[in-house]
């Protein structure tokens, strides 16, 4: 629960809402929301963790895209999209530790909820059958999911100020700080 403590302590929460935020701002990203399976992280991504890594995140500056829709309470936020890669046999967590303004993650569900931390994996080693008439078929799962070691989820991060966002990635007994350049490069 170190990640929950880091999250509520560094995202601009006031004393009155710390307990509520720590309980409500974590999401478990389901394996059924995987959009792809790849053998290795591609160019522009770096794996973090021992033994070849347990999570892979982008290394370059993320472009800011769309703004929050009118009336959503997110009108002052911009979205930076990037795939989240987690090694199939591991559980990994990603938590926002510090940001120049306010920031939150958006992965795994169509409902936009302010999420400071998420957990993903492990996922089935082979995936369901690809034949739509099979009893084992699961719609939405990448067909032929045994073709790679890394599961990919679509999503990204919302920020109200571009800059360097520090996240903590963790799995089992490893905890690693990682800098994400969101709309502006990280200095140093």
In a domain, 113, yes or no: yes
Reported confidence tier of residue 187, pLDDT bands at 50, 70, 90: confident
What is the arithmetic mean of pLDDT over 144-151?
72
Number of domains in the chain: 1
Output the pLDDT for position 25.
86
Using the predicted structure, report yes or no on whether residue 146 has a pLDDT greater than 90.
no
What is the arithmetic mean of pLDDT over 137-161?
77
Q: Which domain holds residue 134?
A: 2-182
In a domain, 187, yes or no: no
Per cent of the chain over pLDDT 90 is: 55
In a domain, 69, yes or no: yes
Using the predicted structure, report yes or no on whether residue 120 has a pLDDT greater than 70.
yes
Using the predicted structure, report yes or no on whether residue 61 has a pLDDT greater than 60.
yes
Reported confidence tier of residue 113, pLDDT bands at 50, 70, 90: confident
In a domain, 116, yes or no: yes
User: What's the pTM?
Assistant: 0.78
What tokens appear for 30 in the block? 């389901």
In a domain, 63, yes or no: yes
Give 184 or 127, the one with higher predicted confidence. Answer: 184
Lowest mean pLDDT among 20-29, 96-105, 165-174: 20-29
In a domain, 84, yes or no: yes
Output the pLDDT for position 131.
63
Average pLDDT, the chain: 81
């Amino acid at each position: 629960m170190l990640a929950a403590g880091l999250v509520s302590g560094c995202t601009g929460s006031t004393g009155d809402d710390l307990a509520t935020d720590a309980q409500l701002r974590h999401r478990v990203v389901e394996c059924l929301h995987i959009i792809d399976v790849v053998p290795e992280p591609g160019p522009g991504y770096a794996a973090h963790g021992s033994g070849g890594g347990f999570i892979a995140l982008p290394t370059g500056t993320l472009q800011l895209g769309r703004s929050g829709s009118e009336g959503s309470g997110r009108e002052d936020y911009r979205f930076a999209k990037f795939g989240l890669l987690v090694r199939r046999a591991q559980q990994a967590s990603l938590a926002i530790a510090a940001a120049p303004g306010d920031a939150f993650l958006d992965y795994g569900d169509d409902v936009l909820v302010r999420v400071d931390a998420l957990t993903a994996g492990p996922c089935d080693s082979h995936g369901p059958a690809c034949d739509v008439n099979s009893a084992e078929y699961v719609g939405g799962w990448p067909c032929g999911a045994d073709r790679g070691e890394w599961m990919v989820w679509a999503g990204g991060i919302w920020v109200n100020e571009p800059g360097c966002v520090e996240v903590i990635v963790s799995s089992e007994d490893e905890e690693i700080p990682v800098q994400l350049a969101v709309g502006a490069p990280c200095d140093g």
